[in-house]
Amino acid sequence: MKIFRNLKRIISQFFETEYWYRFRKIPYSYFDDFGEDCTNKYIWKKYKARDILTSTWDGEGDMLNMMLLKIEHQFYNLKHYGSQADFYFDSHTIIEHGSKEDKLWAFNKIIEENKFENVKPEDRACNLHFFMGKENESKIYFYIKDKKYLVLEYNKDAIGDDKYFWYIEEKDKKEIQHIPNHNDFKDWEIIDGVIYHEYSVNITVKEYKNLSDELKQFARGNRRTLTELLHLRHMIKRLINLSDTDDKYMNMWQYEKDEEEKERLLKESFKAYYEDRKRLYHEIAEFMAEKGNGWWD
């Protein structure tokens, strides 16, 4: 019953949020170089997520650490339960940014994935490409433009390895344009039309390395989202850990013996520190503005 499904979901989400935002242990380290018992070593300890959730005294740090909690929660769920394809391209990006080799790869992949023998029987009814004809044949239609289609006609009783007969069909026209050697098919109007109307094309990691550098940057999917979330997490951690006592800033003034020069260098170090803060904030904002729209599932 629906009420029990909803109750199960509510209980499950309660324990999920309790773990991720209260009871989860988060490791951290600090360099022990202060006090009588200093070890001059990095000390590792753990705190619980609730220490961040309930904290308000650290202002900016509390906000940034809450972002880390959400990113890590999102990363885990997408990695283990994400329903989006690992890698894919929106078809229009292949048309706009792909090389001829990229387009041939995409075209052949679309054709191969929609061939009669590669689609499960239970999925054929909802596959928009299929038209079931006579008992021993089927037609696979790929829309090109207007009323023009690329058609693959399949006959399981055909003799020979190639059971498909390729041709171009236009509605309201009697003539059919045959394609005698489809293995060397390079009609770019038809190729572009088939790719464009497929909406998206999945890609494996093995295939990815063979594509052009221009097209690679437009890859989308769960694996790309996970990589980008890790990069965002890295940038936020850099911002959290940035301090005006870092060696980069301290070394600008601490060894200067002249007091006036030391004061001038101290001001310069603060200026450099705040410029680095602003740069990191800008990088985070620009990265999220550019990539964040695709972090969905």
Chain position carrying tokens 């260098």: 265
* Average pLDDT rounded to a whole number, residues 207-225: 91
Structure tokens at 69: 């909690």
Q: Which amino acid is at 253?
A: W
Domain ranges of the chain: 1-54, 57-84+221-297, 91-219
Query: For residue 55, which amino acid is it?
Result: S
Nearest to 74 by CA among 13, 6, 20, 25: 20
pLDDT score of 49: 93
Mean pLDDT of 196-222: 91
Q: Is 172 left (phi over 0), alpha (psi -120 to 50) or beta?
A: left
Q: Which has more pLDDT, 36 or 277?
A: 277
Average model confidence (pLDDT) for the chain? 87
Instruction: Look at residue 269 and tell me whether its pLDDT is greater than 80.
Output: yes
Mean pLDDT over residues 203-219, rounded?
Answer: 91
The two structure tokens encoding residue 143: 């829309």
**What is the DSSP secondary structure assignment for residue 19, as one 8-state letter?**
I
Backbone angles phi, psi at 141, to 5 degrees: -105, 130
Q: What is the mean pLDDT of residues 244-264?
A: 92
> pLDDT over 70 for what percent of the chain?
92
CA distance linking residue 187 with residue 33, whole number of Å: 70
**d(C-alpha 152, C-alpha 164), whole Å:** 6
76 φ/ψ angles, rounded to the nearest 5 degrees: -60, -50
How far is CA 72 from each of CA 212, 216, 224, rounded to the nearest angstrom? Answer: 32, 26, 15
3-state secondary structure of 171: coil
d(C-alpha 52, C-alpha 54), whole Å: 6
Model confidence, pTM: 0.77
- Indicate the SS3 state at residue 283: helix
In the predicted model, is pLDDT for residue 234 greater than 90?
Answer: yes
pLDDT in tens, 11-31: 888 899 999 999 999 888 877
Where residue 6 falls among pLDDT bands split at 50, 70, 90?
confident
| pLDDT, position 31 | 77
Please count the helices (runs of H) and the strands (runs of E) in the chain. 12, 9
Q: What is the mean pLDDT of residues 54-82?
A: 95
- Residues 139 and 133 sit within 8 Å (Cβ to Cβ): yes
CB atoms closer than 10 angstroms to residue 15: 10
Mean local confidence (pLDDT), 44-69: 93
